[in-house]
Structure 1
């Protein structure tokens, strides 16, 4: 049987993008999701909240940053940390911590030990085939890091006949992007390839970046019941960083960059081949993969307390194996699987000397001191993870379907200290008074391991054809990353540095218990979804910042509580008008956290945790626009505390964006967008204290126009 006759049926079950919760009411196909069990399943039978960004949304929005589509999902806030960097808030405060799992076609883009909060710039998001955001702890098929949410970026399915498309964009602040892609099918083979070339000068001083990203996918049928799917992805990002601004700088000189020498050079490569063999009542899936990641960086966020430059590298050799068996009674389904990941890596880091000057607006500008860098870390560390799991489902009645899962994670770091010949000891960084100078501790070569049993229970109930609900309990965890365990903080004495380094070996994994209820349905032409969650995190790994020295220390907090409600709505107002809205209201608190006996934050709200996040979009798509549309978007972010002591707040902001596209001729289309339509002065992130707040300045009004051609 030829690929063109069954490719969509088989490939669609494995990795097809799902429909949006706010899709048109006359959509012919039932809504599907692929993230929960790594294959297609009905969204109505998934006991979890899943936000979906459709392929058509990506094509129409053409995001210049992933936040432009992710912030449309209820309960999701992604901020821009200059360039394509980002921090994320999904049922968590805005954070760079490893509480999110990033996937490409169900495969983690990085191993647990080498988490990168900027993971989406390693993926070709604008040319993806859709995105799924499973909120809260992941299913039994996903382990460490899947706490706040799992973001799965889907590759586009190859076409059934030859096609090609190309677009070119230009915009404010030197923005330019070229997207090209296409594919074909012949016999039992089909393929698609895409290339993303982007550059910008950046709207702030010395804030430009360049990126080259590509994705290639090849599907090959093996007989009538099996498929090989090979995906190759790469990204190369060369980006300059921008430092945080004082309140006076944000108001008077928002374009200023007080760390103009800060940079990041990223290389990411991924290759996987999935073998899927499906019969009438079974599926065998075996997916070996390889990853190669490196990053050379001089970070902007640590210049005030620990200036350094470092190079991290890691390769990954992994395997995802799964067997699913279906049974006639009760529509029962049993899935057993095993995930394996071996990722050798390294860190080579130098402490650098900086000079600083204070300006008239209360800000500090840094410059590189000509003093030679001093090496402070040189180690190799290999991560190994072995995780068997089991997942079962059954329909106890025609309306009630239940599932349960259990995952066991066995993780280990093998650490080799190359700095001190493998033995423990502290060494001085750059000479000078603390914190500009200081000491670093190094533990002896060692092994550190973590294990965890993670259960999950869930049920869905179909109240009617138009309304379903779910209830779920899940337990998950997060193992400390390699830099948290082996990269100690700068301290004022050698003894303190060594003690701090040794203490990191005792960091505990974060343990999470999550309870959730949800509804999905439609009433006439209206589609809606609602969920409420209660999540408790124990031994949360957080960074404590000493307000006197700005020194940061990684510790286990006692307990944090996360509670919230999320709502989504899709409402056709008239034949040409559509209203889509998302809303979340949440509260994140330190239930028990005392820092070194000097500060007790128990009962305080967590910093960078707005209670309110809302997004409303009004779209107009009249017939005379030939499939085009105009969309006005309103994004509302509520106020939040700047620090754990709750000494001051950021007031939040309202932003408006405008997008439009218009097809013309044969396969031609013109498009454009204006972000921050009313040129609002705002902050992407805000922290510090009430008396000395610091801000990451938000993008001013910016425009992009472009043209696309399809053949």
Structure 2
């Protein structure tokens, strides 16, 4: 990190000397144009979907230590903190780890189709973000499978015209520290931006929760001529974290934040690099081509992999060590063509991705040391590894994944106030595999054509409406297919059985919404009403030993209202209110095939971890009497939800307040965040199995946290 800072300082001084005669241009320019929903620059009033943009100003003022602090400012988004930047997501879905979200980096998926990881955003460098665009609802017709509940596009910093340099540090009282630096400039036809962060957590409020993360992003832009541009992006990251896991109800209520294990961990090494060439043929036609490479290594001794049953043999448990490694080689091409007839724009494209993957997991024998308690209500005080069994595999496969797609979208305006959008995409995921556990090999193909149609109607300048129908598609994750079913394989003595029959999930979404802007944009309001049905959803049952049984025979419904309100009466105040009211239910979901079981189908039950209400609101103050000072108070609301699939026990939810202040003096900025302002006892997530003897697992949230930071911002203008 020190070498990076020295390089950035020297480069900044060199460029400053070469740019003394350059015309005046701002270091940072912002706009309100969206690129995610239509794969091309489009105004909000021309976009028939629910889309939100988190601007550079919001990102900068948040001074977030983790991405969830920023994402949760978007109406309809609940990003769950699982500690040390690990996370789960809820957008038009319950809080889950399902592969129904697509994470993009400058429009390119972070992971290939079939290798979804709900923690993929921990690889992101927050100091490298220019803006974030979040599309809610299916956009599979443009971006392909997994773009179902929502799509998050993280847009990275571009090279500035003038030389700029930023350096900052931040820390809290729980042992968290981060150093970050970024710089860039444009010299003639070449622009560059370099950004790095280094985070560390030691001796926190929660046992077994240390972590370390280092990220470096490098972008180079080359203007070949007025019509042709070349862009290169490279990201390198390393991450290692202890996994403290969840706590039982008694420890949670007593704020006893001790971990039941001291051996669980997650580690990641990631490389992503891409090269894009764009050419404008004329004012109505442009073409872009991107080639890319990914290289990811993810290893774990996961806390969620510990399987323990209080009713069978409560003093023993099992665990696992696993490794999931993949590489990707791919290309995507896109052409945009405009026509005078009805002001038509047509976007056409195709993509190919080849991703070989290897995965293995082996068994651990674990001793469970119990807390004193009543029979049938035991809880674990500490787990200890008794023996490792690399020879006893829980999963062991290699696979070559071939993803191909073609897509097209057309926008046209038969009358000035009406804009119609129609799009479609065909995806084919072909899997060639070798499963060492049952000595099988073969091919599997998951393919689907997805369609969308929508329209925007803008009768007046101050208001607009939209409606759309869209389809979503998500094949099962490769890891789910080749995971031995619970009670088979390993040391069970039973032949391993697998989830070869899992089917792709499909979704149909119906949506209407609109926006209003009044008093010269001082007051804005936007809303969306949606109804979505899922078929063959990949759902899971949490078994008594903490293992998971997968099913893809589920049918579910998801409906709700999302709303955002922003009022800026003057230059000193800004009031933001946003939230969602939603209901997620099983329509049909078989959990038992045994005639003797009382409950065989969850049809009609609410889905677990599905709060009816969720919201995030904020009041910000920028006093005229003290320029460059800011202060804000943020309110986060999560309503009650069921912990289990059989709707017997609820978690009460929480109201949470955060405070932020900052002051800039010339090039120096000092700031402070107080997270969990009232020191509220709450959990990020609570879940339990379906049996009456099941114990709740609480993902405990942090006590009141004071984060302070110092940042140096330099922009070398004439």
TM-score (norm 1): 0.91
Match of 1:440 in 2: none
* Residues 8 and 310 of structure 1, relative CA distance in 2, 3 Å threshold: farther
Q: Tell whether 2:523 aligns with 1:526.
A: yes
Whether the aligned pair in 1 keeps the contact of 2:363 and 2:389 (CA below 8 Å) is no
Match of 1:415 in 2: 433
State the distance in 1 between where 2:688 and 2:336 align. 50
Q: CA RMSD in A?
A: 2.3
Find the partner of 1:338 among 343, 350, 354.
Answer: 350
Match of 2:313 in 1: none
Match of 2:61 in 1: 60
> What SS does the aligned partner of 2:625 have?
helix
Whether the aligned pair in 1 keeps the contact of 2:486 and 2:549 (CA below 8 Å) is no
Match of 1:295 in 2: 298
> What SS does the aligned partner of 1:206 have?
coil
Deviates more, 1:454-463 or 1:303-312: 303-312
Q: 1:389, CA displacement in angstroms? A: 1.1
* Residues 94 and 8 of structure 1, relative CA distance in 2, 3 Å threshold: farther
Whether the aligned pair in 2 keeps the contact of 1:63 and 1:126 (CA below 8 Å) is no
* Residues 109 and 5 of structure 1, relative CA distance in 2, 3 Å threshold: farther
* Residues 407 and 496 of structure 1, relative CA distance in 2, 3 Å threshold: farther
Q: 1:378, CA displacement in angstroms? A: 2.7
Whether the aligned pair in 2 keeps the contact of 1:488 and 1:497 (CA below 8 Å) is no
Q: 1:7, CA displacement in angstroms? A: 14
State the distance in 2 between where 1:254 and 1:297 align. 25
Match of 1:235 in 2: 237
State the distance in 1 between where 2:616 and 2:33 align. 23
Match of 2:505 in 1: 510
Deviates more, 1:574-583 or 1:584-593: 574-583
Q: Tell whether 2:448 aligns with 1:452.
A: yes
Match of 2:11 in 1: none
> What SS does the aligned partner of 1:32 have?
coil
Q: 1:463, CA displacement in angstroms? A: 2.0
Query: Which residues of structure 2 form unaligned runs of 5+?
Result: 1-17, 309-317
> What SS does the aligned partner of 1:261 have?
coil
Q: Tell whether 2:386 aligns with 1:350.
A: no
* Residues 323 and 608 of structure 1, relative CA distance in 2, 3 Å threshold: same
Q: Deviations over 1:205-232 (max 9, x none)?
A: 1211000011111111121112111111
Match of 2:385 in 1: 368
State the distance in 2 between where 1:157 and 1:7 align. 18
Find the partner of 2:497 among 498, 501, 507.
Answer: 501
Whether the aligned pair in 2 keeps the contact of 1:489 and 1:497 (CA below 8 Å) is no
Q: 1:639, CA displacement in angstroms? A: 0.4
Q: 1:685, CA displacement in angstroms? A: 0.5
Residues 83-482 of structure 1 aligned to structure 2 (within 5 Å) = 83-138=84-139, 140-201=141-202, 202-278=204-280, 279-304=282-307, 307-360=319-372, 363-364=379-380, 365-376=382-393, 377-417=395-435, 419=436, 424=438, 444-482=440-478
Whether the aligned pair in 2 keeps the contact of 1:476 and 1:513 (CA below 8 Å) is yes
Whether the aligned pair in 1 keeps the contact of 2:489 and 2:497 (CA below 8 Å) is no
Q: Deviations over 1:125-158 (max 9, x none)?
A: 2431111110111152211110100000001111
Q: 1:348, CA displacement in angstroms? A: 2.2
State the distance in 1 between where 2:440 and 2:57 align. 53
Q: 1:634, CA displacement in angstroms? A: 0.8
> What SS does the aligned partner of 1:35 have?
coil
Whether the aligned pair in 2 keeps the contact of 1:36 and 1:139 (CA below 8 Å) is no
Match of 2:684 in 1: 684
Match of 1:542 in 2: 539
Q: Deviations over 1:296-333 (max 9, x none)?
A: 10111120256110111000001111111100111101
State the distance in 2 between where 1:285 and 1:574 align. 42
Whether the aligned pair in 2 keeps the contact of 1:352 and 1:374 (CA below 8 Å) is no
State the distance in 2 between where 1:308 and 1:370 align. 11
Deviates more, 1:145-154 or 1:36-45: 36-45
State the distance in 2 between where 1:464 and 1:139 align. 31
Match of 1:428 in 2: none
State the distance in 2 between where 1:450 and 1:236 align. 32
State the distance in 2 between where 1:627 and 1:497 align. 68
State the distance in 1 between where 2:190 and 2:465 align. 40
State the distance in 1 between where 2:102 and 2:488 align. 35
Whether the aligned pair in 2 keeps the contact of 1:479 and 1:509 (CA below 8 Å) is yes
> What SS does the aligned partner of 1:624 have?
coil
Q: Deviations over 1:23-63 (max 9, x none)?
A: xxxxxxxx311112322111110011112111111111111
> What SS does the aligned partner of 1:56 have?
helix
Whether the aligned pair in 1 keeps the contact of 2:364 and 2:387 (CA below 8 Å) is no
State the distance in 1 between where 2:469 and 2:275 align. 33
Whether the aligned pair in 2 keeps the contact of 1:544 and 1:554 (CA below 8 Å) is yes
Q: 1:474, CA displacement in angstroms? A: 0.5
Match of 2:712 in 1: 709
* Residues 683 and 257 of structure 1, relative CA distance in 2, 3 Å threshold: same
Q: Tell whether 2:697 aligns with 1:694.
A: yes
State the distance in 2 between where 1:579 and 1:103 align. 29
> What SS does the aligned partner of 2:245 have?
coil
Whether the aligned pair in 1 keeps the contact of 2:683 and 2:698 (CA below 8 Å) is yes
Deviates more, 1:622-631 or 1:90-99: 622-631
> What SS does the aligned partner of 2:512 have?
strand
* Residues 369 and 656 of structure 1, relative CA distance in 2, 3 Å threshold: same
* Residues 497 and 477 of structure 1, relative CA distance in 2, 3 Å threshold: farther
* Residues 51 and 242 of structure 1, relative CA distance in 2, 3 Å threshold: same
State the distance in 2 between where 1:493 and 1:519 align. 53
Deviates more, 1:139-148 or 1:83-92: 139-148
Whether the aligned pair in 2 keeps the contact of 1:7 and 1:221 (CA below 8 Å) is no
> What SS does the aligned partner of 2:702 have?
coil
* Residues 643 and 210 of structure 1, relative CA distance in 2, 3 Å threshold: same
Q: Deviations over 1:342-384 (max 9, x none)?
A: 1001012211111111214753121111454433033211111
Q: Deviations over 1:229-285 (max 9, x none)?
A: 111112211100012111101012431111221001101110011111122111101
